[in-house]
Structure 1
């Protein structure tokens, strides 16, 4: 009922679809769904492909008759993610120069993902996604509004191009920050670690360098992530964020030619011999880049089990030394291929 109330308040067309109506006898059970006040329920069975024609017809009936399609150009979507109360909305508002999201000292004020397009003076365009703070599961009551906000925040990571992981400078990188970074890594998105509230830190010679080393140590699985030190309150270094985002986004879309990539792999093997197991040595036949965002490389070998994870990590590091992939994960897929293939 809470979800139905939320949908009604959007003032947008809503279709009530009742799934798992797997046979005719179950259609009598759909009448209880009228209590939601969302109109006539549409019974379907996704598993048995029943009722999908009626659903498609209902969807098309709601679409305007004359749709004009504009040619879309590529725009970088930026998700601003992090724990509650680290200053995500303050950063977004400072970048936009307006209070688009609610700003409060109370953790969890931003209840939903809010998309805001922005165009810079140099013509660059971005879409900022300000998300609800991601809390530990134990801190979220089941079926609460905040629970849905967290799900939306995770969905925002899935649809962004580059994520800004906002960390409170006074707290440093916490376990929860590391978990959020892991979500961005799993989604294969570009990332920038943004240390906010830097104005509150007492500084001396080498403070920034020492702090950055600690951040990299705390996020050791993400050493490729650039670290920026900003203050949403004073605006310090915020003007450089978009340049860094563009830089990371270009790296996410970067391609290496097969020839160059294989030269790098050969050079890596000369620097460190491939591992062996039970008298069998790993042989790398060739490598090729399969896709971008994130850059994904397939390495064909004689036996997949001979590729030790440490050697795979060495190959990734060697590729990163040769090609700038700052800010983007690099996925390496090992495929077994017989020599005669």
Structure 2
């Protein structure tokens, strides 16, 4: 299941970004003593007591403001509210209850979602007299905290995770291949799904951003069970015109988390863009099997080496995922669309593959004979033993004499030798080093 989403909302300058940065453990949001500085939502992953969740920082809500930027921030915060499983409504304990807080409180009560009323800037154990005014909002007991001094944050985090929805097992059987269809808006994600299914199962539109949320489409093909998770397209910030698209990144990240395989859609008429790299990076970092599907191939004028040149360009731009197969397709003409499912099934199996330990060590032994491990100041790295400890993605542990002697180039060499011997096409791979006596 995807991680729960927690949104921090409130009017400008109540300390939302300071709170966000404390929980993130690093300075991500811009903090400035001026209303409206945080103009876009920023998200981070937070872990507390073995519970992981996605935290969204928002621009301040100004319910009655006609200012364009504040209006956009208000819309973004509303979208964050729609996305969230738990809402942290932050108010200013120094300023006391103001009319804007009441307006926001009315908005939040109507959501029907768990809301935690958090009174920030309470820097001492003595509550200010204005603290009790916040009971008028009708949102339960306020929680006093100081984001700057990190007071009360632990108790608040306990309350946040206590309100997470109960984890529900997905209805899909264990052998169902879950495919996140990811990419920028208007690259043809919904059209490809419809072409594969042979029927209109999801809305197709030329208007970028039609798919506003992740839509699950389960189906069977032969004896194999699949579910396509069609996501809202991820756009570059500079090109986001509709506020509602701004939370597509969070939804797409959640879809990637849920998936076994990611199908990265690229527009053949545009090639690989910076945003494509970011989206591919999400899938790679999450350790998901991936296939790169270049759609609209029918719109590209072909010459003798057109496809080969495209492949070179893609490999150069997405150099961090050389393992991902590339398909050139057209949802309109159905060219090579029939190859998508067989490729997805293949890389899903590769993603789940476990290799025999004896054969693995034979391969590594041969690799060492061909290319000795690195040395430093007269000390050479010795490799004693290799084992695969997990799948999805495949993860290997190499036991060595001294982890400090390892080098990324030799790790890449070992990875290439493992891939040559066993395949692991379409999937990232993780290689860890341990010294004797260390836990795996």
TM-score range, shorter chain: 0.7 to 0.9
Cα shift at 1:84: 1.6
TM-score, structure 2 as length reference: 0.65
1:16 is matched with which residue: 85, 95, 114? 114
Measured in 1, the distance between the counterparts of 2:286 and 2:320 equals 14
Counterpart secondary structure, 2:311: helix
Q: What pairs up with 1:190-209 in 2 under 5 angstroms?
A: 190-209=289-308
Partner of residue 187, structure 1: 286
Correspondence for 1:152: 251
1:317 equivalent to 2:416? Answer yes
Distance 1:214 1:224, change over 3 A: same
Which protein, 1 or 2, shows the higher relative CO under an 8 Å CA cutoff with sep ≥ 6? 1
- Aligned residue runs from structure 1 range 17-166, under 5 A: 17-18=115-116, 28=132, 31=135, 33-34=137-138, 41=140, 47-48=154-155, 72-120=173-221, 122-140=222-240, 144-166=243-265
Cross-structure match for 2:272: 173
Mapped to 1, the partners of 2:219 and 2:170 lie a distance apart of 21
CA distance in 2, matches of 1:107, 1:265: 49
Q: How does 1:325-336 map to 2 (within 5 A)?
A: 325-336=424-435
Give the alignment's Cα RMSD to 1 decimal.
3.5
SS of 2:154's equivalent in the other structure is coil
CA distance 1:270–1:200, change in 2 (3 Å): same
Residue segments in structure 1 that go unaligned for 5+ positions in a row: 8-12, 35-39
The residue that corresponds to 2:382 in the other structure is 283
Q: Within the alignment, does 1:259 sit opposite 2:358 as a pair?
A: yes
Report the alpha carbon displacement of residue 46 of structure 1 after superposing the two structures with TM.
Answer: 7.6
Alignment partner, residue 211 of structure 1: 310
Distance 1:31 1:20 in 2: 11
**CA–CA distance in structure 2, aligned partners of residues 24 and 71 of structure 1:** 52
1:308, 1:29 → 2: CA distance?
Answer: 60
Structure 2 distance, partners of 1:269, 1:259, is: 15
Q: 75, 78, 93: which one pairs with 1:2?
A: 78
Distance 1:90 1:20 in 2: 44
**Greater percentage in helix:** 1
Give the whole-Å Cα distance in 1 for the aligned partners of 2:252 and 2:327. 22
Indicate conservation of the 8 Å contact 2:324/2:426, yes or no.
yes
